[in-house]
Amino acid sequence: MGQYNRLLRTEYTAGKEYGDLWETVNAGKYWRGEFHSKHKNGSLYWESTLVSPITDKDGTITHFLVVMEDITERRQLESHLRRSQKMEVVGELAGGIAHDFNNLLGIIIGNLDLMKRKISEDSKIQNNLEKAQSAALRGSSLTRRLLNFSQQSPEASSPVNINKIIVSLEDLVSRSLTGKITHETSLAGDLWMVELNTGDFEDMLINLSLNARDAMPDGGRLIIETRNTVIDHITTMGDEEMEPGDYVEIAISDTGSGIPKNLATKIFDPFFTTKDKDKGTGLGLAMVYSFVQRSKGHISVQSEEGIGTTFRIYLPRSLTMAQRMEELAKPDISLPRGTETILIVDDEEELTIIAKTILEELGYKTICVYGADQALQILEDNPGVDLLFSDVIMAGSLNGFELARAATGIRPGLKILLTSGFTGQMQNSKADEQWEKTLITKPYRDVELAKRIRDTLDNGDGNE
């Protein structure tokens, strides 16, 4: 309470806003607003301010009543919410274009697969086809990563050997570092399998490597290590979220500037960054943390200013899938064949033709249609169809899941295999889960299609 309006002046207050404030209260009215101010220690904060004039018995303003409330946390939460809403819009846009984009990539990859099988391995053209296919597969990976970031893609996990992924990324990581930084790896032999999304792990490793690079502007060492480790109940006493068990430990260390202790608890917060606005979004470590959580793992950080930082990621060992992964890793030159009849449904004609060509070369009989209504008519007229292979998102009144339900209503026990490049916004019934779990993601390769068709015919339960 006082008479001096200079007490409310702040270097972050626009002159017009300041003028409006005093024009209002000098007219005998109260004013309410928000100011951006600075503490004596230099930190910025927001405050909600109410200014009300106090008058004497003659109506003359003698004092002002000022009530202030620190609303910094509320403003930060509102800011994060707005950013999250923007990301949600980006995610919806990405989901909208992903289906068409993956269809185009599917046409390219499918035709390249067909061409490679018709050209001798010693042909010079094979090298050109490999390069074209590699570029198309990178495009597919880019779409998947965008959808994973917006949490709108089907997140397929499989048993993998972390060491193989790290080795495959060594060149990319090295090229992303400056010439003053040395890149070292220490990878344990006989490393256990872990079950995760390979692309997500690649993103995590690159994010942490880039963070390490930025922490070493004058050079240093980036060290990536792996080992098997057993966590017991004593080890986990300080972390209730970490369950005892077998883990693969990945340590990413740098000899950089380190993380100040007052910031260590904030580094995984979305949009938190100490970098300039044009150099960081504050999403890199948030994505790392999200990946570790999805993988049912744990992440910790140890850092000393002026010495460096180590991130330790613990991913649970995959036991049930290890044998299956070894079988998948074995070379299999011949694709599984069959003589059954496959009904192919896709509103993208070129993709339908590619699937038809691949399957007919493997001995199957195929029927191709470009919509759900046509497919249902075929099923009513042709009792010889063994499997329905359908896109999920199609023009028309029914999507792939709805078509599958209608089809098994006409033909109980019909085998179903669905495909899509995007299913994140689909609101499926409980009955659709069996088909969603076995969905083949576009763009698919000829090998994958052949194996999934054969597996569905041999092991799929249909809807009996």
Specify whether the CB–CB gap between 91 and 422 falls below 8 A. Answer: no
Residue 229's contacts (CB-CB under 8 Å, 6 or more residues apart) are 246, 247, 248, 249, 314
CATH numeric code, 5-70 = 3.30.450.20
Specify whether the CB–CB gap between 107 and 348 falls below 8 A. Answer: yes
pLDDT at 436: 76
pLDDT at 80: 58
Helix 446-459 to helix 349-361 angle, to the nearest 10 degrees?
70
Q: Where are the domains of the chain?
A: 5-70, 91-149, 158-323, 330-459
Question: Per residue in 199-214, is it b (16+ CB within 10 Å) or e — as a string?
Answer: bbbbbbbbbbbebbbb
Phi/psi for 442 (5° steps) reads -80, 150
pLDDT at 331: 47
Residue 295's contacts (CB-CB under 8 Å, 6 or more residues apart) are 157, 194, 195, 196, 197, 200, 315, 316
pLDDT at 225: 92
pLDDT at 303: 83
pLDDT at 233: 54
Look at the alpha carbons of 448, 449, 454, 458 in this order and tell me if their dihedral is positive or negative.
Answer: positive
Q: Which CATH superfamily is domain 330-459 in?
A: Response regulator (3.40.50.2300)
Segment 301-311, tens digit of pLDDT = 888 888 888 89
Of 270, 254, 324, the residue nearest 80 (C-alpha)? 270
Please state the pTM of the whole predicted model.
0.48
Specify whether the CB–CB gap between 423 and 154 falls below 8 A. Answer: yes
Overall fold of domain 158-323: Heat Shock Protein 90 (3.30.565)
Low-confidence ranges of the chain (pLDDT < 70): 1-14, 42-43, 79-99, 141-142, 144-156, 232-241, 264-266, 269-284, 320-333, 421-431, 460-464
